[in-house]
Structure 1
Amino acid sequence: MYWYVIEPLDVLLFREAKPFSPSEGSWAKGQFPPLPITTFQALRSALEQYEQKKRDLEFLGPFLLDKDNTLWLRTPKDLLAVKSKSPINEDIPEDNLDEKTNDWNRTEHLQPACLGEKAWKHFCFDSNALQPMVTPPIDKNNEFICGKPESWITFNALIEYLKGENLRNPQDFHADPWSVQILPHIQMQPGTRQVKDEEGYFTEVAIRLHPGWRLVAAMSAKLQQTVVRLGGEGHRALVSLLPDFQPWHKLAAYEQPKDATNFAYLLTPGLAQAQVAVYGVYPTSWQDNLYGCVSDRPLLWGGVSTIQRKEQDKEFALLPQRAFVPPGTIYLFKNILLQQADYLLPEMGGNWLTTFRQLNYGKLLWGQRT
């Protein structure tokens, strides 16, 4: 695998999977970072034989790289920020979990609720689902939960996290290093100064990475420095080889579970099959072996669908086809099942599943926690 720095030369535009048609008031949101297949296709386009439909390449990424070539990954979604109380912040509301913060003293993890305790006596939960994840007990006289750490974590801090160590440095976390740029598109009626009544106006949301920040990804083919198209509207990015990328060599030690491993961190978007053609946060086959998991909204991926309605013919449609589990999702296991310890992907799926495996969708890193 060769690692590459991908430096945008313009804004980046990756439309969400929602069906979109330009019309009055339409709004096409963006999705960033892009899904692996989008970045892979951009790199593969630099190969002479890229048009051949062969599944002979592997890919990993994309992730973020700062100006110092530090690798940044998604923050584990079970982390909470804990701050010590002082006369200055005694009146700050506690448990403000919707906001990210970089002002804290240490981190804690969400943990499975103990439903046998008296406090849960009058709460009812689906017996066929995982138990809820709750905040851990802390010294409320001296500390309070002030939110969650920022969205990105350095690879070194993630390694400490996988070792079960308590993180205490807010500088190991970073907010999203990009800004949103609104791109309105207006099409005029020929020979007039009026906007077209149909398909005359729509708005897109693009991403502009902050100075010094770039994407980084690996592919099993060597490229010379080149410029590729990345995303929509013909936006371009400079691709350069990154020799001897040490951060991944260190993370690769956590690709496989060990005897004492008891949790997994999702490095890349995964696909958790709950039922046939239905995707959830965790696979149904894992449920009996899970204490709990912490995730977020799915990443939708569009595609072509044939819809069969009652007493009607099949019709063509463009709809989100799969809901990927977002990176940073955490799974707490009772026992590690080695046959499930490689990827968060369905067991069967044909050529598309082969593609997802070669592009390292659903890649898990394994850790140990007491």
Structure 2
Amino acid sequence: MTQHRDLEFLGSFLLDTNNTLWLPTPKDLLGVKKKPSGDKETPEDDLDDKTNDWDRTERFQPAFQQDKAWKHLCFDSDGLSPMVTPLIDKNEFICRPQPWIKAEALSLYLAGEKLNNPRDFHDHPWSVQILPHIHMETGTRQVRDEEGYFTEVAIRLHSGWKLVASISCKLDEPFVVRLGGEGHRALVSPLPDFQQWQQLAAYEKPTDASNFAYLLTPGLAEKQPAVYGVYPTNWKENLSGCVSDRPLLWGGVSTIERKNQQEKEFALLPQRGFVPPGTVYLFEDIPEQADDLLPTTGGNWLMTFQQLNYGKLLWGQR
């Protein structure tokens, strides 16, 4: 079998039992729900933070800092404007939609339409399993002094759910692939006539009407050499707001030191550097370099990220 080393990859995303495509929920979306009726008002602490029975959705908006409500608060003049919730009725409260959204609903969101159907959202379809392990010293009945105890965190997809991804080669039949370096295997099967991505393909490039971008896959936003944030430095003058679940400046690269090796190696740690999917950017003007959320320069590692479609943006209009 011919080995391909220049394959492109997009994903992975989620597919349910009905072959419905699910993608990360945009992080600027808010659910608005009416407070329970009755003589006794429900305390704020008892209201659900995340629900699947809200009445409508709204979006975070950049704060209007000239409003008198902000006059006693100070913000970095060189930073982005804070993102705030829209005004709602006193008998309503804000909650977060569930973390996965149907591809069909995401296309409506990118078109600027409001989403009012909670069934277009889904909670994480997996469970976490903690597996404790011990390493025994070879030839003894004793646990190893070094790395003798460790735990493995396993993510178990619920029955009927699958991972789905796009790859730049044709698959004619199911086959088994190896995942990672520990011998794990996965069964890969082609999906004939899978058309759900087509409704999102129209949003892969910005248009004259585009004023926001949604991050589909993990991105890498360079603030300065070896320091990363949620948005890149060269976007700053074009941005009017950003919504993520990470601080605006929060990550970077590190170095690792291996046994029997004198020099430390460069290491890019995903939990420290990558911007999570679903992050949303609001633009006053589209930057010249906005093809993806990746650094403009780099070595082989950057080429790998590009082939894996890291930092892929979908463009919409509010």
Partner of 1:36: none
Q: Structure 1 pair 94/160, CA: closer, same or farther in 2 (3 Å)? A: farther
- CA deviation string 1:82-107 (max 9, x = no partner): 1023415841417968x322121111
Contact kept? 2:136, 2:142, Cα under 8 Å: yes
Q: SS in structure 1 opposite 2:176?
A: strand
Give the C-alpha shift of residue 236 in structure 1.
Answer: 1.6
Tell me the TM-score normalized by structure 1. Answer: 0.77
Give the C-alpha shift of residue 190 in structure 1.
Answer: 5.1
How many residues align? The count is 310
Contact kept? 1:157, 1:167, Cα under 8 Å: yes
Of 227, 244, 254, the residue aligned with 1:278 is 227
Distance in 2 between residues matched to 1:197 and 1:314, nearest whole Å: 24
Contact kept? 1:305, 1:321, Cα under 8 Å: no
- CA deviation string 1:145-170 (max 9, x = no partner): 1x200110000111111111111111
Partner of 1:179: 127
Give the C-alpha shift of residue 265 in structure 1.
Answer: 0.4
**1:334 has 2:284 as partner:** yes
Contact kept? 1:273, 1:279, Cα under 8 Å: yes
Q: SS in structure 1 opposite 2:277?
A: coil
Give the C-alpha shift of residue 255 in structure 1.
Answer: 0.6
**1:167 has 2:115 as partner:** yes
Give the C-alpha shift of residue 316 in structure 1.
Answer: 2.0
Partner of 1:208: 156
- CA deviation string 1:301-330 (max 9, x = no partner): 9886579xxxxx973257444611110000
Contact kept? 1:256, 1:341, Cα under 8 Å: no
Distance in 2 between residues matched to 1:79 and 1:94, nearest whole Å: 21
Distance in 1 between residues matched to 2:255 and 2:137, nearest whole Å: 32
Contact kept? 1:95, 1:144, Cα under 8 Å: no
Distance in 1 between residues matched to 2:205 and 2:292, nearest whole Å: 10
Superposition pairs for residues 1-370 of structure 1, below 5 Å? 48-50=2-4, 54=5, 56-88=6-38, 90-93=41-44, 99-140=49-90, 142-145=91-94, 147-189=95-137, 193-223=141-171, 224-231=173-180, 233-297=182-246, 305=256, 315-317=263-265, 319-321=267-269, 323-337=273-287, 339-369=288-318
Q: Which stretch of structure 1 is more off in the superposition, 71-80 or 123-132?
A: 123-132
Q: SS in structure 1 opposite 2:196?
A: helix
Contact kept? 1:100, 1:151, Cα under 8 Å: no
Amino acid at match of 1:242: L
Partner of 1:43: none
Q: Which stretch of structure 1 is more off in the superposition, 253-262 or 313-322?
A: 313-322
- CA deviation string 1:1-41 (max 9, x = no partner): xxxxxxxxxxxxxxxxxxxxxxxxxxxxxxxxxxxxxxxxx
Q: Structure 1 pair 199/350, CA: closer, same or farther in 2 (3 Å)? A: closer
Q: SS in structure 2 opposite 1:197?
A: coil
Amino acid at match of 1:221: C
Q: SS in structure 2 opposite 1:215?
A: strand
Give the C-alpha shift of residue 346 in structure 1.
Answer: 1.4
Amino acid at match of 1:220: S
- Structure 2: gaps (5+ residues): none
Amino acid at match of 1:237: A
Distance in 1 between residues matched to 2:78 and 2:213, nearest whole Å: 22
Q: SS in structure 1 opposite 2:197?
A: helix
Tell me the TM-score normalized by structure 2. Answer: 0.89
Give the C-alpha shift of residue 118 in structure 1.
Answer: 0.8
Contact kept? 1:300, 1:320, Cα under 8 Å: no
Percent identity for Structure 1 against Structure 2: 67
Distance in 2 between residues matched to 1:235 and 1:225, nearest whole Å: 17
Distance in 1 between residues matched to 2:108 and 2:205, nearest whole Å: 16
Distance in 1 between residues matched to 2:186 and 2:176, nearest whole Å: 6
Distance in 1 between residues matched to 2:238 and 2:78, nearest whole Å: 13
Q: Structure 1 pair 78/200, CA: closer, same or farther in 2 (3 Å)? A: same
Provide the aligned C-alpha RMSD in A: 2.7
Q: Structure 1 pair 67/247, CA: closer, same or farther in 2 (3 Å)? A: same
